[in-house]
Chains A and B, each alone.
Chain A
């Protein structure tokens, strides 16, 4: 017997992600899912973002890592609530892992939820967790061939932060090439050039992010 299904293989995750999204929507919380290769600068960017915005907005963080609490400890030092998820080998976060942290947060006192995904350029883009949008970091030492090699990441993201531009003099990487090829995959991608460590360009990212936080708060 033949059974015709035509079913999204990841439907179970989609359903949980939608539930998570409904909660964030109800509370007017902007949830962002930050993805990159290992070491591109996600935690550094999140620390910078918190330092500048924490007097203006109530921020919380979910840290996804295969192992260790290293990143969560750094975020905790900034004074905002943070929950660590250890995926125990899984190379991406999914909707269920996110919803399991919910009893540790007070969503009535939150404007922005930052989710740091596991460092990986393939599957984090496939698993929605209930975020408003995805943000991708690409650091210049990784090279300018990444849009062609990992198109789904660029396609699924709303913003691309090209990080570590302080290292441009030392690496072989064309920002122009990254921009052209990223926009071919996703013409609506907002692109920022930053040094998360030294602060260059971070203001433009924060201005953009603030608009999104305010829009979300007002949509409640």
Chain B
């Protein structure tokens, strides 16, 4: 469900950029989304298709860079990717870590003519 508000925001941000760059047609949009956001790509694509109709963004290709969750061990500062949350630090075995990436929710760039 949050895909809908995410897409609304993406369209709003890009539309406000178009005149600055003299763009009338958006061809592609690149997003960076961390796994912690639990965004469902198909739901996002579908929401985009619906909400971009009759705008300069209609038909644009939406690309998602999927960013894994990365932790930094509080004990030894080893950095590692978490495939699931059960893992402890591979270097020292501690389980207290700070999340250093995986929370991204960004528009990286877009392309248009």
Contacts and interface: CB of A to CB of B under 8 A. Distances in A.
Interface of A: 1-13, 90-92, 94, 120, 122-123, 126-127, 147-148, 150-152, 155, 180-181, 183-185, 187
A122 B2 contact: yes
Contacts of A5: 13, 17, 106-110
Interface of B: 1-2, 5-6, 9-10, 12-13, 17, 21, 23, 31, 36-38, 69, 74, 84-86, 95-99, 103, 105-113
Contacts, number: 98
Nearest to B32: A6
A155 B69 CA distance: 12
Contact of A151 (B85, B97, B106): B85
Give 3 closest A-B pairs by Cβ, nearest first: A123-B2, A187-B96, A4-B109
A27 B38 CA distance: 36
Contact of A12 (B12, B105, B107): B12
B85 A7 contact: no
Contact of A148 (B6, B31, B85): B85
Given A148-B84, A155-B36, A181-B85, A90 B5 contact: yes
A184 B112 contact: no
Contacts of B107: 5-7, 9
Nearest to A149: B38
B90 to A, nearest CB: 14
